[in-house]
C-alpha cells in the first residue's frame, strides 16, 4: 500500500520497535514539510521532558533511515494554497498533506483527529493502525 504520511503518524510509527518495517510497508510519500514538522514534534517532546536526548535522536534516525518520497514541487504548493482557501484555513501546512494525497490519489495517514474530520469526504484518511491492517 502507498500512502501520504503526516508527522503525527510518522512519529508514532518511528517510536514503535517495528516502525521501520511498518514504514517500508506503507511506501510513504510526504511533502518536504514532514521532516521539519517531525523534528519540531520530537524537539517539543524532548523540551517537555517526555523524551531523552538519545531517544529523540533515535526517532529522527529512524525517520531518516526509511525511504519516503519527498515532494516539493510548484504543483504541490499551488494545490495546497488552493486547498487551504477551499477549506477556509489560514495556513497551508495541513493542506500540503491533503493536496498531495489528492495529487497521488493516495490515503492520508494521520493521528490528527481534527484534520481527519475536516477532510473526510475529500481524501481517504487512515490511522497508522488502519493503514497497516
Residue 87 pLDDT more than 90? Answer: yes
- Model pLDDT, residue 16: 93
CB 115 within 8 A of CB 131: no
Give the list of residues 6+ apart from residue 13 with CB closer than 8 angstroms, or none. Answer: 5, 19, 22, 23, 26, 128
- Quote the cell numbers at residue 24: 517500508
Residue range(s) defining the domain that contains residue 122: 3-72+105-132
**56 occurs within a structural domain:** yes
Residue 89 pLDDT more than 90? Answer: yes
| Dihedral Cα 102, 16, 7, 30, nearest 10 deg | -40
**79 occurs within a structural domain:** no
**93 occurs within a structural domain:** no
Residue 116 pLDDT more than 90? Answer: yes
**80 occurs within a structural domain:** no
Q: How confident is the model at residue 1 (pLDDT cuts 50, 70, 90)?
A: confident
Tens digits of residue pLDDT in 43-69: 999 999 998 999 999 999 999 999 999
**78 occurs within a structural domain:** no
Number of folded domains that form the chain: 1
Q: What is the CATH number of the domain that holds 24?
A: 3.40.50.1010
Mean pLDDT (whole number) for 20-38: 96
Residue 104 pLDDT more than 90? Answer: yes
Q: How far is CA 68 from CA 8, 74, 127, in A?
A: 15, 19, 18
Classified as helix, coil or strand, 72 is coil
Report the mean per-residue pLDDT for the chain.
96
Cross-strand bridge partners of residue 89 = none
**How does DSSP classify residue 127?**
-
The dihedrals phi and psi of 128, each to the nearest 5 degrees, come to -55, -40
Amino acid at each position: 500500500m502507498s500512502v501520504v504520511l503526516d508527522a503525527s503518524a510518522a512519529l508514532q510509527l518511528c517510536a514503535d520497535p517495528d516502525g521501520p518495517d511498518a514504514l517500508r510497508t506503507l511506501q510513504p510519500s510526504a511533502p518536504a514539510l514532514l521532516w521539519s514538522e517531525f523534528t519540531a514534534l520530537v524537539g517539543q517532546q524532548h523540551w517537555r521532558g517526555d523524551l531523552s536526548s538519545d531517544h529523540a535522536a533515535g526517532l529522527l534516525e529512524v525517520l531518516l533511515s526509511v525511504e519516503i518520497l519527498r515532494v516539493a514541487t510548484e504543483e504541490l504548493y499551488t494545490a495546497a494554497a488552493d486547498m487551504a482557501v477551499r477549506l477556509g484555513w489560514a495556513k497551508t501546512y495541513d493542506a500540503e498533506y491533503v493536496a498531495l494525497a489528492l495529487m497521488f490519489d493516495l490515503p492520508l495517514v494521520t493521528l490528527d483527529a481534527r484534520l481527519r474530520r475536516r477532510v473526510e469526504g475529500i481524501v481517504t484518511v487512515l490511522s497508522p493502525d488502519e493503514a497497516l491492517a
